[in-house]
Structure 1
Amino acid sequence: MDDALTTVTLKVNRFTPRPERDRGARGGSPFAKKGGSPFGGGASRNRRPRGKQWVQEYTLQVRPEDTVLDCLLTIKRTVDPTLAFRYSCGHGMCGSDAVAINGTPTLLCTATVADWAEHPNPLAQADEEGFRHTGSAEDGIADDTDVSNAEDGLGVIELAPLPGFPVQRDLIADIDPMLDQIRKLKPYLQADGVLATTREGKVDVFEYLQNPQQLAKYETLTNCIACGVCEGSCPVFAGGDAFIGPAALIAASRFVNDSRDTATMARLNAIDTADGVAACQSVRACSRQCPRGIDVGEEMWQIVARVKER
């Protein structure tokens, strides 16, 4: 199997937080704006972390089918035990290892080296006189620089923490703001609380029985693993604007579409705010890398339509 190995370079954006100073009971500015969005977010969520930041490169011998998570585990175990990243199941089911790979939010455990390794484009590099070639090799502009360096390895993969969230350390982002937003929308079934009974006075165990059409309306949405990939891809949320975010709206949509839930109007009212559905710009970037196959952008359009139609 050694013959199948090749090299890849991982460029990891690293971060070590600076110890927080104890400010005592002085608090913040008395002129600071109070309240704000009920969903949080804004500058406080996306503020620049304080600490040491640098890019560190690791070159490994890997197989093309290895995942980026495999590479990081190898680094952690054999090269640099100080590298920090988050993962759990490693099978694309828990969503804990979401990061930005080459600038695109995705899961470490589902991204293979062969799919994500990139070679630097020699045509985009400046020559000795400071000019960059913009033509192609077929145009005769670059004679020597158009030779691919694939024989030297698979290429380079750049890793950074998930956009839109505070960085805790290296590739670990604090996703608590997203989870808090989901909790605020009460992501649990709210039924009328009246137990159906049979003629004999016993509890009817089939009270919440659904037909296949009713189940299909929300079944796909139950696949959401709250990984944050859609939020890291959203230019509004990742840009730091106050926005509840697509993950929370997906959670709300799951129950809005559930025939057993009796709180539909309350749920729609809760997201009908300037920082709720009104903040969605319908860019649909949230759909591009969902690891569970949810068309998040389409669901955003559907929930916005439900809010307007009510």
Structure 2
Amino acid sequence: MTNTTVTLQIHRFTPRAERERDRARGGSPFAKKSSPFGDSGAASARRRPRGKQWVQEYVVAASADDSVLDLLLTIKRTMDPTLAFRYSCGHGMCGSDAVAINGTPNLLCTAMVKDWAKPAEAAASVDDEGFRATGVAAAGSDDAVVSVSPVADADGSLGVIELAALPGFPVQRDLIADIDPMLDQIRKLKPYLQADGVLATTSEGKIDVFEYLQHPEQLAQYETLTNCIACGVCEGLCPVYAGGDAFIGPAALIWASRFVNDSRDERTAERLEAIDTADGVAACQSVRACTRQCPRGIDVGEEMWQIVAKVRER
């Protein structure tokens, strides 16, 4: 049994009951109607949540090799059943458990205590508005000095981990963010293969099962993009999307790029036209922050650059 602990500082939220007037108000009258993404719910995604907000601390028995999800499950089962968070597979494949860990979007199930626990002094450098003092790097970031295994202090504490809902999305409760705006953006770009619809036949008149056979080189052009699990981490990292500006977001552009690069798809022109809008590729500032924490290893920033280049070259 472990004698070490970790302190979780969790930003909690309980929504206020929605009034009938709020439901009837609907979307923003200022949404861009010239773009297919203007009425996607982006306005509601940026709306400040209404309800009770507070930070609650939990001290949990843990080891350096535990995942942050393990700690939350311990809290849920033995300490506080009211704590709300989302997860499914627990192996970094479904993307449902994306949150902000020490201010950086990541998956709960793949985030390990040894990589994210920080000394209590570093945690204390966060002010009441959530801003960190200059010079304090977030654990897990490129600029942070991450220890292989945190050393427990005299009290047996491995450190502090701060958790909040994924940035850029409306908060539903505690660590659960509503990612429907992102999924709506992806759906609007028709994320499925659109071929000519004509069944090829063999010389004997039978259906040719190799109609869409590809060379390895053709598959390699988009195969990595099929690993996207729509977790929202790249959107939470993007300063344009999470900052509240009108932007379709990197996740939707990744899905568009996946089919633009597929040799079997015959709607390339239409797909490029759909994202050639003020809140499409034109809104991307090429910051490349979206690349930093992709749990599936996609170089999102590079893919953004490639799809922007295709739009400009057409």
Give how far 1:22 is off: 1.5
Counterpart for residue 106 of structure 2: 106
Counterpart for residue 21 of structure 2: 23
Counterpart for residue 226 of structure 1: 230
Counterpart for residue 30 of structure 2: 33
2:26 and 2:93 map into 1 onto residues whose CA distance is 41
Counterpart for residue 137 of structure 1: none
1:276 and 1:115 map into 2 onto residues whose CA distance is 35
Alignment of 1:1-310 (within 5 A): 2=1, 4-23=2-21, 27=25, 32-33=29-30, 35-36=32-33, 37-39=35-37, 40=40, 42-121=42-121, 150-152=153-155, 153-310=157-314
Provide the aligned length of Structure 1 versus Structure 2: 287
Give how far 1:195 is off: 1.4
State the SS of the aligned residue for 1:151: coil
Determine if contact 1:119/1:149 at 8 Å carries over to the other structure: no
2:88 and 2:159 map into 1 onto residues whose CA distance is 27
State the SS of the aligned residue for 1:237: coil
Overall identity of the aligned pairs, in %: 77
2:274 and 2:24 map into 1 onto residues whose CA distance is 35
Counterpart for residue 129 of structure 1: none
Give how far 1:219 is off: 0.3
Give how far 1:45 is off: 1.9
Determine if contact 1:41/1:244 at 8 Å carries over to the other structure: no
Q: CA RMSD in A?
A: 2.3
Q: 1:94 to 1:24 in 2, by over 3 A?
A: closer
1:288 and 1:274 map into 2 onto residues whose CA distance is 25
State the SS of the aligned residue for 1:16: strand
In the TM superposition, structure 1's runs of 4+ consecutive aligned residues that sit over 6 Å from their partners are none
1:239 and 1:34 map into 2 onto residues whose CA distance is 16
Q: Deviation digits for residues 32-67 of structure 1, max 9, x if unmatched? A: 436545323554321101000000000011111000
Give how far 1:121 is off: 3.5
Amino acid at match of 1:38: P
State the SS of the aligned residue for 1:10: strand
State the SS of the aligned residue for 2:191: coil
TM-score, reference length from structure 1: 0.88
2:302 and 2:24 map into 1 onto residues whose CA distance is 47
Q: Computing the radius of gyration over CA atoms, which structure comes out larger, 1 or 2?
A: 1
Q: Deviation digits for residues 244-274 of structure 1, max 9, x if unmatched? A: 0000000000000000000000000000001
Determine if contact 2:12/2:56 at 8 Å carries over to the other structure: yes
Gaps of 5+ in 1: 126-131, 135-147
State the SS of the aligned residue for 2:208: coil
2:23 and 2:256 map into 1 onto residues whose CA distance is 38
